Structure 1
Amino acid sequence: MKTTTRRRTARFLAPVFALALALSAGSPAQAEDPSLRDLADRHGLRMGVAVSAHLLDNARYAEIAAEQYNSVTHENELKWETVQPQRGQFNWSGGDRLVDFAQANGQDVYGHTLVWHSQLPSWVADGGFSAPELEGVMEEHISTVVDRYADDISHWDVVNEAFNEDGSFRDTVFYRTLGEDYIATSLEMAHAADPDARLFINDYNVEGINAKSDALYELASSLLDRGVPLHGVGLQSHLIVGQVPSSMQANIQRFADLGLEVVVTELDIRTNTPASEQQLQAQAADYTRVFQACMAVDGCGGVTVWGVGDANSWIPDVFPGQGDALPYDHQYQPKPAYWAMHEALGGDGGPGPGPGPGDGDCSVTYTVVNRWNQGAVIDVTVRNTGTAAVDGWSLAWTRPAGQQITSAWNATVTQDGSAVTAEGVSWNRTLPPGGSVTFGFQIAHQGQADAPSGFELNGAACD
């Protein structure tokens, strides 16, 4: 007979909430503006974030997670290989820590995930179980995890990533052994463990209308017709800048028309790194599109972003050369994407770049560090000699005749005829008073590697 231990709600963590409030008082992003969670609460929407329990030791990370979001999702702590690495041996430390954090900060918890082919321990994936045996393994895992958190977790991603891109079922140990009914069985097991929980199927590349989302739609319709306890679908939304599906709102609407709740569960919008200012602005526009698609449909329950800041995102490890996908940067400062979400939820669009420098409030040093017959390497140092910070610097000059820039580093350099513009990247876009930044580029030239006659920083002439 299986025995489970239901987790008791923590009552002793009020000081954590007090600490989070004390930290938030000094937040540069929100000193005068409502938080994302406050704005989302006005609409009755989930404004969630995926959190790794061990990163809560970082005070700024914990501050943002507590202050900005009304819901948290375990990033990894409730995945099968973490919570039950060996059969019958459950590890609750990370799961409990995040639940305690959420309760201390008045947040909902969204459970992720119960049945998934990835991050699955080998004893399940390669166990060679018969169909009845595997069903027993699933029942033990699902009922134990869901029962433990029945008082703490309101929503569950029960089945994750069941489909291939063409809409066929993914070849997993669960599908091979039990057929497509493993999905209905998983939902029924979770419902038996906690009849009050809302149960979801979650997948990626199903944000717009396509073969994969069509298959998810047909499955959801079939499960509902059979009376299987399915309450919603999760659209992961690991997107790329410039590629938010135009059919996203229509896709959300058709699932909502089935009576299902739709949640954007894992939003990030990646780009090539380092992201230029233009890319960050395009990313912000894409965040706006996702929020608009959700908020236009009554059945959309909200949005969860997949991580607190770019420094801890999963993307660079999986997609080398890409990242900068989240609303906070590597230093946990708000990006244009943050302010796009803020504005979409009814707040303002952020402080903007502020006043630019005046003429003479900047200086430029242009140094030829290497030269050969028809080429040269140039270093440029820009210094803010004024009294106001320059947030989002852009240095412009006219390219000397006979020169062509062939590559650049530590800045995004664009050329339009003889006009050249260099812009800061994510880690050096702000120039404080007295601060400087150095970037470089290589040129091909005919004749001499002459310096430009002058430079302008955000429209102001520099010495």
Structure 2
Amino acid sequence: MAAVSALTAATVALVGLAAPAHAADPVLRDLAAAKGIYYGTAVTSSKLSGTYGAVTGAQFDSITPANEMKWGTVEPNRGSFNWAGADRVVDFAEANGQQVRGHTLVWHSQMPNWLANGSFSNTELRTIMTDHVTTEVTRYKGRIDHWDVVNEPLNEDGTMRGSKFYNQLGESYIADAFRAARAADPAAKLYINDYNTDGTGPKSNGMYSLVQRLKAQGVPIDGVGFQGHLILGQVPATLQANLQRFADLGVEVAITELDIRMTLPATDAKLAQQKTEFKAVTNACLAVARCEGVTVWGFTDSDSWIPDVFPGEGAATPYDAGFQPKPAYYGIAEALGWTGDGGGGDPTPTTGCAVTYAVQSQWNTGFTANVTVRNTGTSPVNGWTLRWTWPSGQSVTQAWNATVTQSGAQATAVNAAHNAAIAPGGSATFGFNGAWSGGNTAPGAFTLNGAACAVALS
């Protein structure tokens, strides 16, 4: 949505900005936090605005840059760095109160041409690698919660993959990368990450042995990431037991790139099974005390890598291409404790709500807005908390008919005594003055008492 012109008195209707919400849609990040884990998504930095950005900010408390921190992106030419995409991801996360999983520092794929096809002595290659790790981790010191330090080091039989680094440096390249990352940011959690290690088997056994060796060498490895690129009907029955055996080694575990693909077209039966399987994966993490969280590899089918790599397959994420939550989304929420009543933690579960946001006037540094909250459910609301995320860095300076507070880009409005109760079909209105600079894009999503609201004209 374009910025509102100065001194406009027009209503900023949010119809079409946010995906139409179902009554009492849960908020995954709140449910996950209540369970002591994070629930995250991979993101594409250029899309972090509009509905995509609104859903990302509202639903997830951790984000992973899909490509923006990979070596070929950030150091396309030796010693010359491009941080634009990575910076956008980290800035967005901080504005929305989210963690960041840094992905990834050392990988056999998506290397820049100068590195992939260059000829270096063993000493020079080791220095190139550790310098790159040091530079990237140092840039984001204190801003990245978890780093995938080394990605996909194994073959399917559990042996070491023959990458440029392994072929010249042997297995020691992994230890060197971890030690460089630890020196650059002692507070970040350092992970090794791979696919097809989700259940017990040769590759998982190879990872288990590798982690044992690294720990025996005193390598500062904090966790193991299990990517979770799964196929409908093939979720490993041994997933939980596998996560547990790694946790028993004294490391954290996490599901880092979850999607569950199916042969297209999607049917109701396939989507129902996918719901069951997303729920099962989430439950497996919850059952393991050292499982830190789950990240889906893109939350919407419009941002999924699956169709490009596996022709005829797709529908692998919790939202469809139109930002509508699929059954899988509700399966995740159910695993996190949602029972269909709007979640928990706020005054009264909400059975249905709609929000209208209107800018009444705007000047060069400020604006006045009104917000109307309507109860579209069949039960009264007795006490309410409305939350939203500012997409353009706005801030609330004064409010009436509600108490409005702000943390970063997240705003929270709590009812006044006189408008705490909203009968079915009724509404409550509050207003505020705000500050803005450079843009005054309307927020794209609201939650009332933990449930996502439809966004429409009153």
Q: TM-score, normalised by structure 2?
A: 0.70
Whether 2:34 is the aligned partner of 1:53: answer no
What's the counterpart of residue 332 of structure 1? 323
What's the counterpart of residue 41 of structure 1? 33
Q: For residues 268-417 of structure 1, what are the structure 2 equivalents within 5 Å?
A: 268-348=259-339
The 1:99–1:24 alpha-carbon spacing in structure 2 relative to 1, beyond 3 Å, is: farther
What's the counterpart of residue 448 of structure 2? none
User: How far does residue 27 in structure 1 lie from its aligned partner after superposition?
Assistant: 5.5
Greater RCO between the two (CA within 8 Å, min separation 6)? 2
Distance 2:186 2:309 in 1: 37
Task: Please tell me whether the aligned partners of residues 24 and 63 of structure 1 are also in contact (alpha carbons under 8 angstroms).
Answer: no
Deviations 1:11-67 (A, max 9, x none): xxxxxxxxxxx899965436534400000010110101000101114x111111001
Task: Please tell me whether the aligned partners of residues 19 and 322 of structure 2 are also in contact (alpha carbons under 8 angstroms).
Answer: no
User: How far does residue 330 in structure 1 lie from its aligned partner after superposition?
Assistant: 1.0
Whether 2:208 is the aligned partner of 1:239: answer no
Distance 2:108 2:99 in 1: 26
- What is the DSSP-based 3-state SS (H/G/I as helix, E as strand, rest coil) of the residue aligned with 2:48? helix
What's the counterpart of residue 91 of structure 2? 100
What's the counterpart of residue 211 of structure 2? 220
Same amino acid, percent of matched pairs: 54
The 1:264–1:340 alpha-carbon spacing in structure 2 relative to 1, beyond 3 Å, is: same
What's the counterpart of residue 370 of structure 1? none
Find runs of 4+ consecutive structure 1 residues off by over 2 angstroms. 22-34, 348-351
User: How far does residue 134 in structure 1 lie from its aligned partner after superposition?
Assistant: 0.4
Distance 2:316 2:24 in 1: 25
User: How far does residue 111 in structure 1 lie from its aligned partner after superposition?
Assistant: 0.4
Kindly provide the amino acid, as one letter, of the partner of residue 29 in structure 2.
R
User: How far does residue 222 in structure 1 lie from its aligned partner after superposition?
Assistant: 1.2
What's the counterpart of residue 174 of structure 2? 183
- What is the DSSP-based 3-state SS (H/G/I as helix, E as strand, rest coil) of the residue aligned with 1:199? strand
- What is the DSSP-based 3-state SS (H/G/I as helix, E as strand, rest coil) of the residue aligned with 1:270? strand
User: How far does residue 274 in structure 1 lie from its aligned partner after superposition?
Assistant: 1.6
Whether 2:112 is the aligned partner of 1:121: answer yes
Structure 1 unaligned runs (5+)? 1-21, 352-463
The 1:349–1:281 alpha-carbon spacing in structure 2 relative to 1, beyond 3 Å, is: farther
- What is the DSSP-based 3-state SS (H/G/I as helix, E as strand, rest coil) of the residue aligned with 1:328? coil
What's the counterpart of residue 427 of structure 1? none
Whether 2:162 is the aligned partner of 1:171: answer yes
Distance 2:338 2:279 in 1: 12
1:261 to 244, 252, 263: 252
Task: Please tell me whether the aligned partners of residues 115 and 158 of structure 1 are also in contact (alpha carbons under 8 angstroms).
Answer: yes
What's the counterpart of residue 9 of structure 1? none
Task: Please tell me whether the aligned partners of residues 24 and 340 of structure 2 are also in contact (alpha carbons under 8 angstroms).
Answer: no
1:83 to 58, 74, 98: 74
Distance 2:179 2:111 in 1: 21
What's the counterpart of residue 122 of structure 2? 131
- What is the DSSP-based 3-state SS (H/G/I as helix, E as strand, rest coil) of the residue aligned with 1:106? coil
Deviations 1:336-393 (A, max 9, x none): 0000001100013599xxxxxxxxxxxxxxxxxxxxxxxxxxxxxxxxxxxxxxxxxx
Distance 1:34 1:274 in 2: 27
Structure 2 unaligned runs (5+)? 1-13, 343-458
RMSD between superposed Cα atoms in Å: 1.7
- What is the DSSP-based 3-state SS (H/G/I as helix, E as strand, rest coil) of the residue aligned with 1:316? helix
- What is the DSSP-based 3-state SS (H/G/I as helix, E as strand, rest coil) of the residue aligned with 2:293? strand
Deviations 1:73-107 (A, max 9, x none): 00100001001000011001000011111111010
- What is the DSSP-based 3-state SS (H/G/I as helix, E as strand, rest coil) of the residue aligned with 1:331? coil
User: How far does residue 259 in structure 1 lie from its aligned partner after superposition?
Assistant: 1.1
Task: Please tell me whether the aligned partners of residues 19 and 323 of structure 2 are also in contact (alpha carbons under 8 angstroms).
Answer: no
What's the counterpart of residue 109 of structure 1? 100
Distance 1:263 1:132 in 2: 33
Distance 1:289 1:26 in 2: 29
- What is the DSSP-based 3-state SS (H/G/I as helix, E as strand, rest coil) of the residue aligned with 2:233? coil
The 1:200–1:24 alpha-carbon spacing in structure 2 relative to 1, beyond 3 Å, is: farther
Task: Please tell me whether the aligned partners of residues 18 and 54 of structure 2 are also in contact (alpha carbons under 8 angstroms).
Answer: no
Larger Rg: 1
Distance 1:211 1:190 in 2: 28
Task: Please tell me whether the aligned partners of residues 228 and 255 of structure 2 are also in contact (alpha carbons under 8 angstroms).
Answer: yes
